[in-house]
Structure 1
Amino acid sequence: MARQKVIGLTGPTGAGKTTVSKALEQKGYYIIDADQVARKVVLPGSECLLKIAGVFGGEVLNPDQSLNRQALGRIVFSNKDKLKQLEGIIFPYIIHDIQQMIKQSEEQGNHIVILDAPTLFESGCDKLCDQVIVVIAPLNARLLRIVSRDGISFEQAMQRISAQHDDAFYTEQADFIVDNSKPQADYSNLLSWLSSLE
């Protein structure tokens, strides 16, 4: 039996990667959502969250000891060194859990697993992947999506965009590019490409 292929799915924030991920899930692909994994590793009382609070202070915790994401975001998205510091704490926990999920997917007999990871390259998760899909979209569309999705200001949304790599970085790493600029994107080419890998 052919070895399972791990396909990374990433792109700059607000490009509409979640829409692509949901479309692939509806087609029966096994999806590992790195954002969900990232939420799980910082649950109240977790070793990872305790380390984050130890480095960034108690203000990143809510009264119930859960992670205050907005407070942490204000610290790290305006300071690249602090963002790197946070990534150094959280990424090893995320990678460990993702490796376990990839193994579980293979045991279930899947030919392809999609690793939906906004920080695929920053975390080193690209090293777990055989190939990479990158989702891109125009800056204005991305800004509107981030503001609407996260309930933040345009200035905060631009801070998040500025904290990431530019489009050229993503497209240079891509084995397949999805242009998500149209409201109703057609993913038939992507599905054909994935079928060719099975």
Structure 2
Amino acid sequence: MKRIGLTGGIASGKSTASSILRELGAVIIDADAVAHELAEKGQPLYEAYVRHFGCGILRPDGSLDRRCLGQLVFTQAEEKAWLDQTSHPLIRAAMKKELAEAEAKGVKAVVLDIPLLFETGWQKKLDETWLIYVPEEVQLLRLQQRNGYPCAEAMSRIKAQMPIEEKRNLADRVIDNTGSREALQAKLKALWQDLMAENGQTDEKHEKGREHIC
């Protein structure tokens, strides 16, 4: 089973790319979705967060206030380190379980949608990594427009991640997303078709190594 890691910086369009790949028939294992489930009321991450941060991170209905939690961890390095150390092992275990289930079903290729792919070392267990890329200034603008964050908060969230240019140097394939959704869709469709060809549908071989798709 081919294992593709999909990543990007915040507000780079990774979620859009994941959605497009799902439309193309890809099996997606989404780290954010896994983390969200684990942080639902009564689940392991929810319980760990409440024990550590207290009830101030909860909404009146008892659900997790994710904006409040984000403000805490993105402005305090020690709190972010605690959150990473607590959440990553649980998320990784859940994703490995989903991978095993997909392999047991005979799935030929799986896309693992992982925002912190390089930060957590997931690339060591994957066959190939795809980066959805936009420059940092585009990230900042899109994050402010999408979430309504003031400039300082948006920048703090960007700076909490590995710099996008560093990710660019680590990725096998760099997919530029400064254009339209249709342009991104065309690039991903070509990549996905090549991947399916590699998996035995034709005798075509795709050149390995880093590739920047303009």
TM-score (norm 2): 0.84
In structure 2, relative to structure 1, the CA distance for the partners of 1:59 and 1:105 (3 Å cut) is same
SS at match of 1:114: strand
> Given that residues 13 and 146 in structure 1 are in contact (C-alpha distance below 8 angstroms), is that contact kept between their aligned partners in structure 2?
yes
Higher RCO (C-alpha 8 Å, min separation 6) = 1
Q: Flag the 1:40–1:63 CA change in 2: closer, same or farther, 3 A.
A: same
Does the 8 Å CA contact 1:10/1:133 hold for their aligned counterparts? yes
Higher-Rg member (1/2): 2
Aligned residue number for residue 191 of structure 2 = 190
Give the 3-state SS of the residue equivalent to 2:119 in structure 1. Answer: helix
Count residues in correspondence: 195
Which of 72, 75, 89 is equivalent to 2:72?
A: 75
Q: Which residue of 2 aligns with 1:8?
A: 5
Residue in 2 that maps onto 1:161: 158
Corresponding letter in the other structure for 1:58: C
* Match 2:95 to one of 71, 95, 98: 98
- Unmatched 5+ stretches in structure 1: none
Deviation, structure 1 residue 192: 4.2
State the AA in 1 paired with 2:148: G
Whether 2:171 is the aligned partner of 1:174: answer yes
User: For structure 2, which runs of at least 5 residues remain unmatched after alignment?
Assistant: 200-214
Q: Distance in 1 between matches of 2:191 and 2:174?
A: 8
How far apart in 2 are the matches of 1:175 and 1:192? 17
Please give the root-mean-square deviation of Cα atoms over the aligned residues, in Å.
1.7
Q: CA deviation at 1:138?
A: 2.3
Offset from partner CA, 1:45-100 (integer Å, 9 cap, x none):
12221111222222112222221111111111112221111011111111111011
Matched, 1:143 2:140: yes
Q: State TM-score, norm by structure 1.
A: 0.90
- Check the 8 A contact 2:119/2:162 in 1, yes or no: no
8 Å contact from structure 1 (residues 45, 65) kept in 2: no
* 4+ runs deviating over 3 angstroms: none
d(CA) in 1 for partners of 2:118 and 2:82? 16
Q: Match of 1:8, SS? A: strand
Correspondence 1:48 to 2:48: no
The separation in 1 between residues aligned to 2:99 and 2:27, in whole angstroms, is 10
Q: Which amino acid aligns with 2:151?
A: F
Could you report, residue by residue, the CA deviation over 1:18-64 in whole angstroms, capped at 9, with x for unpaired residues? 12111111110101111110100111012221111222222112222
